[in-house]
A = this chain, B = another copy of it.
Amino acid sequence: MKLWQERRRLDRRVETFTVGDDPEIDLELVEFDCRASIAHTKMLRSIGVLNAAEARSLETELKNIIALHRKKKFKIGVEDEDCHTAIENHLTRRLGAAGKKIHAGRSRNDQVLTAIRLWSRLKLRQIGTRLQVLVKTLNLLSRRYRNAPVPGYTHSRKAMPYTVGKYFAAFADAFRDDLRFIESVSRLTDQNPLGSAAGYGTTLKPDRDLTTRLLDFRKTQRNELYAQNSRGKFESLILAALSQIMLDIQRLASDLILFSMEEFGFFRLADEFSTGSSIMPQKKNPDVFEIARANFAVVHSAYLQVIEILKGLTSGYHRDLQKTKEPLIRGVKNTLETLQIMTLALKGLRVDVARCRSACTDEIRSAARALDLVRRGVPFRDAYRAIARTVGVRS
């Protein structure tokens, strides 16, 4: 039964429509809601709303739910609406009055906020770790091929000589910046909303700093309405940061798809990372990089979904915000998977140093040749023109 339900019956189709995928999505959040509920329980004990025995039994049962959940034995039904209701219903079933007391001083609004914040914080840490592994892999490739010459391209045409090592290092630097960006977003969003209730606080005078300490938040999000208004906003910050990671990944993937074409032959993908065709027996396809490239759109459109939900909403909670949950989870999971697979695929990548070298044809040294003249005192623009006259311009 829903928490607010008693007097009225909700039309079954309306119920299905408004609840949507929440029971399924919320499985991600069960553990985090239980942890937040434990902190809330301790706080309620500290201000005397719960007695010692009630607090103890609630804590024990909340830990029990976590254990059940890990064994995939904690269920959320459509009639429960979401994990928060399922948890309260479970507690009341098991503990009676104590269960009925836990919702004092909070609303589902701050409960959802808190669970999502805790979940996001953990996930951003995992993403940070995977970014670091990816950077390490790129650094390794960078060192291994630091002396391998390869043409640098501008306008999709050979431009100047570069090295394969520096090529990989360019991406190591990009992902390092992404890591820093993730960290700053993580810091910015690490604020405790618990106790802000429906966005306007309660008359219960909760000790919000206590839950901040217990849940290890960087700070209490003091203003209750801002706690609520940051729903969606913080999700969009996180997804904007993930979009940056995916933007670099799709570029790396695009490069690897291009330069592993037989017409270039700079890279080769390991056999166990290539797929075939249902009709052309000879094909060996770079599907891993193609899916990685497409995943940019998966993550970025999740960002856009959140942004477009927020546009036009006034302050305070609106049910619209429920639809920011799924894109957040989708974006995070997709980024995690893609980071892992890119690292793996890079490890399986072969560099054909000979083909890289032989692609460094003479004309890409024209700029260097102009600079040779510069070093002998010729003004650059004159040197440029002198060399230009000697080169057969290639299409």
Contacts and interface: CB of A to CB of B under 8 A. Distances in A.
Interface string A88-107: 10001000011111111111
A139 to B, nearest CB: 12
Contacts of A136: none
Given A159-B283, A391-B281, A307 B243 contact: yes
A53 interface: no
B312 A291 contact: no
Contacts of A10: 272-275
Interface stretch (A69-77, A209-217, A233-241): A233-241
A344 B17 CA distance: 11
Contacts of A375: 49, 204
B310 A272 contact: no
Nearest to A310: B247
Interface in A333-368: 337-338, 340-341, 344-345, 348, 363-364, 366-368
Q: Max chain B CB contacts within 10 Å: which of A204, A269, A314, A382?
A: A314
Given A278-B103, A316-B152, A301 B302 contact: yes
Contacts of A302: 301
Nearest to A104: B380
Contact of A203 (B180, B184, B304, B371): B371
B244 A277 contact: no
Nearest to A315: B255
Contacts of A229: 170, 174, 248, 251
Nearest to A295: B323
A260 B311 contact: no
Q: What's the number of copies of this chain in the assembled complex?
A: 4
Contact of A315 (B85, B103, B251): B251
Nearest to A326: B298
Interface stretch (A31-39, A113-121, A161-169): A161-169
B17 A280 contact: no
Contact of A17 (B156, B200, B291, B312): B291
A294 B281 contact: no
A153 B315 contact: yes
Given A154-B198, A314-B258, A367-B202, A320 B307 contact: no
Q: Max chain B CB contacts within 10 Å: which of A247, A279, A308, A364?
A: A279
Contacts of A201: 160, 162
A11 B322 contact: no
Interface string A238-277: 0010011001101100110110111111001101111111
